[in-house]
Homo-oligomer: A and B are copies of this chain.
């Protein structure tokens, strides 16, 4: 009956975004007319913390990171796979600038939607607004879990969380080529890059994963899960 709730440091929301389906044909046309698709190259920045919000971004294809930067430390807030928005938390009318920066990890297609048009549709279409509320509250809840983990779990558990998340949510396969650097993983899990290297090697020595440079293969996900829970 010891029913200890587990929080996960997972970095992406499992939430399926269905909000674009809620638009009328007319609204979809309005979005189309007031948005552009841009191809970003690997590593490029798509929005900068402190900059004015003039578009809401939608990642059509690719992988991006959203992060905070105080000039000394970075903290990755979330990984953004295809099918997700960036910039929704800038929808608050009090907030005219981005609270975070975002970069793409791989060549990506980003759709930029004019924020005024976005707001307008938000004010007209209730079902759409309702979906946005779903997304925002889902994001919050996911962030709570990450917050808890980074605050209380030790490095082993935090790293295990990230590996599990990459396997199950981001790449959806047990073997993948990492577009993230060791430093990115460090910033995702709130530790130093050196510690990431050391722990990855430890996991590898313990036969939980197999590493060859940027390639990672998860061998024993149950044991990783246990480390995530106890760590």
Give chain A interface residues in 116-147, CB to chain B under 8 Å. Answer: 122-124, 126-127, 129-130, 132-141, 143-144, 146-147
Interface presence of A193 (CB below 8 A) = no
> Do the beta carbons of B70 and A100 come within 8 Å of each other?
no
Q: How many copies does the complex hold?
A: 2
| Cβ–Cβ < 8 Å partners of A207 in chain B | none
- CA–CA, A144 and B66, complex, Å: 11
| Cβ–Cβ < 8 Å partners of A144 in chain B | 68, 77, 89, 99-100, 143
> Do the beta carbons of A133 and B143 come within 8 Å of each other?
no
- CA–CA, A6 and B99, complex, Å: 11
| Cβ–Cβ < 8 Å partners of A150 in chain B | 147, 150-151
Interface size on A, residues (CB 8 A): 53
| Cβ–Cβ < 8 Å partners of A93 in chain B | 130, 134
| Cβ–Cβ < 8 Å partners of A171 in chain B | none
Whether A88 contacts B137 in the complex (CB less than 8 A), given A15-B94, A72-B4, comes out as yes
| Cβ–Cβ < 8 Å partners of A71 in chain B | 2-5
Give chain A interface residues in 1-42, CB to chain B under 8 Å. Answer: 2-7, 15
By beta carbon, the residue of chain B nearest A133 is B91
Most buried by B among A100, A138, A151: A151
Interface presence of A148 (CB below 8 A) = yes
Scan A96-126; emit 1 where CB is below 8 A from any B CB, else 0: 0001100000000000000000000011101
Interface presence of A212 (CB below 8 A) = no
| Cβ–Cβ < 8 Å partners of A15 in chain B | 92, 94
> Do the beta carbons of B137 and A133 come within 8 Å of each other?
no
Give chain A interface residues in 136-176, CB to chain B under 8 Å. Answer: 136-141, 143-144, 146-148, 150-152
> Do the beta carbons of B136 and A140 come within 8 Å of each other?
yes
